[in-house]
Structure 1
Amino acid sequence: MSPPTPAARHHVRASRLWGTLWRMMLMVVLGLVVFVFVWLDTEASLVAAGGSLDDLGGFMVLDVLLGLASFALYPLRHRRPLLTVGIIVGLSALSSLAAPAAALAIISLSTRRQRGEIIAISVVFLAAGFANLLVLPFPDAPPWWAAALLAILVCAALVVTGLYIGGRRQLLQVLQERAEHAERTRTGDIERARMTERTRIAREMHDTLAHRLSLVSLHAGALEYRTNLSPEDARATAGVVRENARLAASDLRDVLGVLRDVDTADDNSTTRPPPSVLEALHLLVQDSHGAGNPTTLTIGDSVASAIDTLTPPTRAHLQRVVQEALTNTRKHAPGEPTEVDLGGAPGQRLFIRVTNRLPPDPSSGPAAPSGFGLTGLHERVRIAGGALRTRRTDDCFTLEAWFPWCR
């Protein structure tokens, strides 16, 4: 996992600060409400019972001081969780102002989901409840068994709340880790698809390069050993050598451009472009027909008359784009009509458009695509110096690509 960026660290710190601030504000407000209610009720009970109010002020001052101490300790609960929460709960035995802080501290400790800590703090909470009844001057205090039952119920509610919050946090963390792992896996799969496509292109170019070099070697050998060649034949042979050397150098640049530390071990699935582009395209259309997709091939007049002038790498790019587009149609729109259109300006650009209708019931089709075939096409067309895009409407899917006529 990559380290968090400065912006992400700042966001985490801001979130923690805000979480502490709103909890502090909540416990202060709730503490004041509990403080006022408890001491007003205690004063009214003492007056009704004819008790003395002389010591009431001292208890109220002690309540406030212990409550402020609990507020100060609450932000430190993450450093020594059990000790800090235990002290806060102990202070709540003599301070109604500290009661909300103790409740929030118990919830916070329970989110850790540690059985020993939960048992220990529950015992401290029950002991604090009994100490509250024994020390503070409550004339109308309930019987001990009722106070014990109430303390158990309150403690159980706080612990269950903490366990729920802790479980939810763990679930979110697991889901986030899974999402990050899936994203890393997806990125790796896409990169492998790109590398596979680069390897395939390089191997195809290697075949073409080997052919060029063999022609250069053949005609250079003729110049070396044939001493009876006329000047015209010698010039023609030298021209063939020069032209094929130039084309070989161009092919070599293309190979080096796409072969970036990619494993080039032998692969029996290596394909070579057939000598005729039109024959290859018609074979692909026939295969699509045979698979159940009615397919039509339309080639502009200007392109049809000059298509044999395409360089071998461009022929391979054209065939691969059409092949992958038709394969994609057979996989995700079986039985639907498909149109293949070729256009462009000879000597400048070659345009390809493959359009297929979408099945009327998407749920009856195959599973969702992985997208690696289109990823490979994007990489191939980009390497060829062109661009590829896809469009989807309610009833059809269109793949469009272009690349230079000669590269």
Structure 2
Amino acid sequence: MSSRPPRDLWAPISVWGHVWRGLLAAVTGTLLFLVSNDPQFSRPLASWVPFVDLVVGVLSLVLLPLHRRSPLLVPVLLQAMTAVSTSSGGSASVALVSVATRRRWPRIALAGVVAMLASLAVSRIYPEIDPMPTALNVATMVLVLAAQIAWGLYLGARRDLFATWQWRAETAEREQVQRISSAREAERTRIAREMHDVLAHRISLVSMHAGALAYRDDLSREQIRKEATIIQGTSMQALTELRQILGVLRSTPVGEPQDAVEAPQPTFTDADDLVLRALRAGASGFLLKDTPPPQIVQAIHRVRAGEPTLSPSVTQRLIHAVSTRTSDTRQRRASTLVAGLTDRERQIALAIGEGRTNAGIAASLYLSVATVKSHVTHLLTKLEADNRVQIAIRMHDAGLL
């Protein structure tokens, strides 16, 4: 990283900046023109001299906004114009101050010498009635030019100082962010190392119990079930710790909040939208990964029989997500579809939304199972659903559950 700020950090001149500089140059040039053409101070002039003076003065005002784009040619040209035009003195002064603000002495010296020679030349065009001694006249010109250059040097030094302060503040902020990021990475690495030891212990337990099952062929069913339960529990703990390690090792972008880190794998805690989209797309159920194997087998048989399967916690979160995230468009569409149901079909749809089976619905409504299945078929058609889960979602969207 550079130890010095870059040069020319000043912002470009705004429209208002050009306007007030032009007004200042115009007012100054007008005053100089009036004084130089006052009969009390100068001798009578030829009729064409004031006209040429004003034309050159207007041209200097036109060239003044270009002094930043061409920081040497335009200022020197404006200084030269003052040799034939006192009205261009305002533009020349503004340009000379601008040259001095950049503090480049060869340019300052060139513009100052041209301005001095032009001042001596214009005194020949506008002879004074009571002229000052030549030495005093030259000293006055030098003093005026020196004051303009000094003012420009002061402005340039102040701008450089402000630019340096800003550059140092930005550099310090960047270094602070880098230090925080480095400390965060070091802490992540330390935590990951500690968690790695715990994870290795979990995996070794899984390997040991699995090896025991493979080696011992005289274990009873109860002993096998006990070992399998240990393996399952230890595996789940190892998986949880592995997720924590991956989350710790994931780096947060510099300057971004900590929650900008993407989780290594979505869980149901933050996957409500994914579950809803899957169910709307035709999925027949959703089970958590800690579901016991017997319930998984039962769920497979239920899905095969055409009945949806959801874990209890999934059902509660699904109802909450649907009730809080249902959009107005889905609400209107679901209300329109539900409005076309008969009273009996609405009762059966509500029962499906409550998670009842066909047999349970038949018992509560005093219907046969075949009649309930027929109503379910009609519900799938009228509600434009693919399965019972989507029927429940339609009822939720309509605000009936």
Runs (5+) with no aligned partner, structure 2: 2-9, 253-401
The structure carrying a bigger strand percent of its residues is 1
Distance in 2, matches of 1:68 and 1:173, equals: 35
AA aligned to 1:17 is V
**AA aligned opposite 1:253:** R
Deviations 1:52-90 (A, max 9, x none): x4x454222122111111111212223433332122112
1:195-248 residue CA offsets vs partner (Å, 9 max, x unmatched): 222222322221221111111111112212223333322221221111101111
Identify the residue that residue 104 of structure 2 maps to in structure 1: 114
Residues 188 and 249 in structure 2, CA contact (< 8 A), matched pair in contact too: yes
Match of residue 61, structure 1, among 45, 51, 55: 51
Secondary structure of residue in 2 paired with 1:43: coil
Q: Partner residue of 2:132? A: 142
Whether 1:196 aligns to 2:186 is yes
Match of residue 246 from structure 2: 256
Is residue 98 of structure 1 aligned with residue 88 of structure 2?
Answer: yes
Q: Percent same amino acid among aligned pairs?
A: 39
1:44 is matched with 40
State the match for 1:123 in structure 2: 113
Provide the TM-score with structure 2 as the length reference: 0.56
Pairing of 1:4-403 with structure 2 (within 5 A) = 12=11, 15-39=13-37, 42-45=38-41, 53=44, 55-260=45-250
Map Cα deviations across residues 283-337 of structure 1 (whole Å, 9 max, x no partner).
xxxxxxxxxxxxxxxxxxxxxxxxxxxxxxxxxxxxxxxxxxxxxxxxxxxxxxx
Equivalents in 2 of 1:21, 1:261: separation in Å? 51
AA aligned to 1:152 is: V
Query: Following the alignment from structure 1 to structure 2, what is the Cα–Cα distance between the partners of residues 31 and 261?
Result: 63
Could you tell me how far apart the structure 2 residues matched to 1:141 and 1:22 are?
Answer: 34
Contact 1:133 1:141 in 2 (8 A): no
> Hey, what's the Cα distance between the residues in 1 that align with 2:251 and 2:128?
82
Deviation at 1:12, TM superposition (A): 5.0
- 8 Å contact kept, 1:94–1:136: no
Contact 1:45 1:140 in 2 (8 A): yes
Q: Distance in 2 between matches of 1:220 and 1:185?
A: 51
2:182 partner letter? R
Residue range with higher mean Cα deviation, 125-134 or 145-154 = 125-134
**Which deviates more from structure 2 when the two are superposed, residues 120-129 or residues 226-235?**
226-235
For residues 37 and 134 of structure 1, the distance between their equivalents in structure 2, rounded to whole angstroms, comes to 15
What is the CA distance between 1:261 and its match in structure 2? 7.0
Tell me the amino acid that sits aligned with residue 182 of structure 1: A
Report the Cα offset of residue 194 of structure 1.
2.1
Give 3-state SS (helix, strand or coil) of 1:243's partner.
helix
Q: Counterpart amino acid of 1:25?
A: L
Letter in 2 for 1:86: V
Normalized per residue, which structure has more helix?
Answer: 2
TM-score, normalised to structure 1, is 0.55
5+ residue gaps in structure 1? 2-10, 263-407
Shift of 1:106: 0.9
Task: Determine helix, strand or coil for the equivalent of 1:81.
Answer: coil
Cα distance in 2, alignment partners of residues 151 and 25 from structure 1: 23
Count of aligned pairs: 244
Q: 1:34 offset after TM fit, Å?
A: 2.7
Q: Distance in 1 between matches of 2:19 and 2:168?
A: 31
**Amino acid paired to 1:204:** E
Give, in whole Å, the separation in 2 of the partners of 1:18 and 1:217.
77
* Distance change in 2, residues 1:199/1:151 (3 Å): same
CA distance in 2, matches of 1:77, 1:142: 33
8 Å CA contact 2:71–2:99 kept in 1: the answer is: yes
**Displacement after TM superposition at 1:151 (Å):** 0.6
The alpha carbon displacement at 1:249 in A equals 1.5
Equivalent residues of 1:129, 1:147 under 8 A apart: no
In the aligned structure 1, how far is the partner of 2:69 from the partner of 2:198?
A: 69
Query: How far 1:152 sits from its partner (Å)?
Result: 0.8
Alpha-carbon deviation of 1:170?
2.1
Pair 1:99–1:176, CA change in 2 (3 A): same
Post-superposition shift, 1:37? 3.3
CA contact (8 A) 2:40 2:129 kept: no
Q: How much does 1:255 deviate?
A: 1.7
Report the structure number with the largest CA radius of gyration: 2
Q: Per-residue deviation at 1:97?
A: 1.3
State how far apart, in whole Å, the 2-side matches of 1:261 and 1:63 are.
70
Q: Which residue of 1 aligns with 2:340?
A: none
User: Which residue type is aligned with residue 236 of structure 2?
Assistant: R
